[in-house]
Amino acid sequence: SPTGDSWGIFTFLCAALCNLPALPALNCSEELGAGQSIQQTYDLTRYLEHQLRTLAGTYLNYLGPPFNEPDFNPPRLARAERVPSATVDLDLWRGLTDNARLAANYRAYSRLLCYLRVLDGQVGTAELRHRLSHFCASLQGLVLSIGGIMSSLGYPLPAGPAGPPAPPGMPTAPNDFLKKMDDFWLLKELQTWLWRSAKDFNRLKKKVPPAVVTLQLEARGF
Amino acid sequence: DSHIQYERVGADVTMKCGSMDWDAAVTWTANGTDIDESHLNGSYLILKNVDLSQSGQYSCYEGSSWHLKYQTYLRVGTPPKEPVLMCRSNNYPKGFYCSWHLPTPTYIPNSFNISVIHGTKDMVCEKDAVPKNRCHIRYLQLFSTVKYKVTLTVTNALGKNFTTLTFDEFAIVKPDPPESVVAKPVPNNPRRLEVSWQNPSSWPDPESFPLKFFLRYRPLILDQWQHVELSDGTSHTITDAYAGKEYIIQVAAKDNDIGTWSDWSVAVHATPWTEEPKHLTTEAQITETTSASTSSFMAPPTTKICDKGAMVGSGAMAVCWTAGLVMAAYSVLFI
């Protein structure tokens, strides 16, 4: 809905600005406990999930059949395991510590962002380039937002994806069809991560009380 | 010895009298009643274009000795049409269930086989004792990118058919409706109704997988529903109810982020609190108390809004001019 989109943009901007670890002097970080940042990050994942639906629809149409068919259900090829999967054992997921939960999200979206940026450089149509770059900007905001929460809770940030987007040992697709398959799975993983993050941040919301974190912010001289 | 024989509706059936020769003299009976010789071709019984009413026990007796030579039970039916299959997760993230039925009866026994494939893995869907035609699966993994493919095959003596469903883990999430919906009037508030409900008991983990709710309500006399979406909490106060009108209220639930809305809950009825008018005749008072909401609170004299002389209408629908005008004004606003 239109109102949902403007709210999403607002929360994204606030999250991006107020959670940048590099800018401790901002006033609004004092009022924002991590509890509130988690709510904003949650809202951002919902906004991104909504954006992705449109982006994926356009992109899959660009790839053409069978990728844009609703019941396209290809087998997972071994080469498609480059992106960290959201899939997880139920009990394991429940038992994740707050640190592990946040770190998994941070790592996943950092990697996904890299791959999306590569895609952005390759696509043909202007409309797709525009949509992709807008989405990448929002996704960047999400990564920063998660990083901000981790910093404010005193957790170390996982080592970012340094170097070129394609990690060593991961060959580029040998043909056009396999390249399109890679793109298909990238979008699928991204969509699944956004669904998972909503649940991750729901759990974090309940477990991180805002009051505790405001104290930590003060102790760090924010 | 006795058999069962299955034949399609409309088929032509030839029954042989066991090992008797074609030209032997025999008598056939259907459910004990002799069959006319016109249906016989030698010792064979010919039934043309059979229908359901011809199901039954057919027996063949040797002409003179009346020895029972052959007996069969004829069941007339149809091969199965494509079955109807539905899969749903009302207990996310525990798993999902699938249930099925045939769109038209076959009139003969059917057996169902269900297979669930997740990527390369075969999963076992455990059949439920009750209801029949239902099975359930536990998720081993959450947040899967690979779709589930469920195939239901139905087989009977006359043929087989099947149907397949392919879906993502998130697409089939649909909770059961909210439970224990209660609506109560609010004392001294003629336009309010307090509604409360509970999470469906089948939803295993509302803490980590919170539900959001959709409330709809309307006075019985109108067809148009009013809607409220609530992102948390299991209660809501309606503040714009028409005074004195009985309302029907329902609630639905949905996972906060994924899947679809539940069916509507059982409907509850409630009428907002109304002030007990003091100076009506005994008869009018009895009509008032039986139709007004459950309020034992007596309106104090200072809140009297009209004189008995200004009453319009009678009994339960008695209103004074001022209240009538106010209600008319509100109705115009809402149309």
Residues A76-134 have pLDDT tens digits of 776 656 777 899 998 899 999 999 999 999 999 999 998 888 877 777 788 888 889 99
Tokens 């997972």 map to which residue?
A76
**Residue A156 backbone zone (phi > 0: left; psi -120 to 50: alpha; other: beta):** beta
Superfamily of domain B179-270: Immunoglobulins (2.60.40.10)
In the β-sheet with B126-127, what is the strand arrangement from edge to edge?
A: B84-88, B95-101, B134-138, B126-127
Give yes or no for a contact between B24 and B73, defined as CB atoms under 8 angstroms apart. Answer: no
Contact A76 B208 (CB under 8 A): no
pLDDT digits (tens, 9 = 90+) for B286-332: 555 444 444 444 444 444 444 444 455 544 454 555 555 656 555 55
- Cα three-residue angle B174-B84-B96, rounded to 5 degrees: 30
Domain spans of chain A? 34-165+174-206
Antiparallel, parallel or unpaired: β B189-198 and B179-186: antiparallel
Q: Is some CB atom of chain A closer than 8 A to the CB atom of B167?
A: no
For residue A219, give every residue at least 6 positions away whose Cβ sits within 8 Å of its Cβ, in sequence order, or none. Answer: none
The set of residues, in sequence order, having a beta carbon less than 8 Å from that of B288 and lying 6+ positions away, is B276, B277, B280, B315, B316, B318
Nearest CA distance, A21 vs chain B (angstrom) = 28
Indicate the DSSP class of residue A78.
Answer: G
What topology does CATH give the domain A34-165+174-206? Growth Hormone; Chain: A; (1.20.1250)
- Helical (H) or strand (E) element with A60: helix A34-63
Q: Do A198 and B145 touch (CB under 8 A)?
A: no
Distance, in Å, from the CA atom of B224 to the CA atom of A63, rounded to the nearest integer, reads: 45
Which residues in chain A touch residue B256, judged by CB atoms under 8 angstroms apart? 198, 202
Contacts of A49 in chain B (CB under 8 A): 257
Q: Give the 3-state DSSP-derived string for A135-154, with helices as H, strands as E and coil as C.
A: HHHHHHHHHHHHHHHHHHCC
- Is the pLDDT confidence value at A8 over 70? no
- Name the CATH superfamily for B84-167: Immunoglobulins (2.60.40.10)
Asked if B139 lies within 8 A of A73 by C-beta distance, the reply is no
**pLDDT computed for residue B217 by the predictor:** 97
Residue B151, beta-bridge partner list: B115, B164
Q: Which two tokens stand for residue B21?
A: 């020769």
B314 at A interface, C-beta within 8 A: no
Note the ipTM here: 0.75
Q: Quote the percentage of chain A above a pLDDT of 90.
A: 36
Distance, in angstroms, between A188 CA and closest chain B CA? Answer: 6
* Partner A, chain B 124-143, Cβ-Cβ below 8 Å: 139-143
CB B116 within 8 A of CB B150: yes
pLDDT at B203 over 80: yes
Contacts of B146 in chain A (CB under 8 A): 76, 87
Q: Dmax of chain B from CA atoms?
A: 107
Least Cα separation, residue B288 to chain A (angstroms): 46
Q: What is the mean pLDDT of residues B157-180?
A: 96
pLDDT higher than threshold 70 for residue B285: no
| Tokens at B219, concatenated | 């006075």
Contact between A85 and B145 using a beta-carbon 8 Å cutoff: yes
Delimit the domains of chain B by residue range. Answer: 3-77, 84-167, 179-270
pLDDT at B309: 46
pLDDT of residue B162: 97
pTM (predicted TM-score) = 0.74
Query: Closest chain A residue to B120 measured between Cα atoms?
Result: A75
Q: Which residue of B has its CA nearest to A205?
A: B208
Those residues whose C-beta lies under 8 Å from the C-beta of residue A177, and which sit 6 or more positions away, are: none
Please give the interface size between A and B, counted as residue pairs whose CB atoms are below 8 Å apart: 61
Beta-strand ranges (E) seen in chain A are 88-89
Cβ of residue B119 closer than 8 Å to a chain A Cβ: yes
Contact between residue B205 and residue B93 where contact means Cβ atoms under 8 Å apart = yes
B80, B110 in Cβ contact below 8 A?
yes
Q: How many CB atoms lie within 10 A of CB B191?
A: 15
Q: How confident is the model at residue A217 (pLDDT cuts 50, 70, 90)?
A: very low
SS3 call for B3: strand
Checking if the pLDDT of A16 tops 90, the result is: no
Handedness of CA A190, A1, B233, A42 (dihedral sign): positive
Q: Per CATH, which fold does B3-77 belong to? A: Immunoglobulin-like (2.60.40)
Confidence of residue A206 (pLDDT cuts 50, 70, 90): confident
Q: Is the pLDDT of residue A196 over 70?
A: yes
Q: What pLDDT, on the 0 to 100 scale, is given for residue B111?
A: 95
Q: Which of B141, B143, B210 sits opposite A202 (nearest CB)?
A: B210
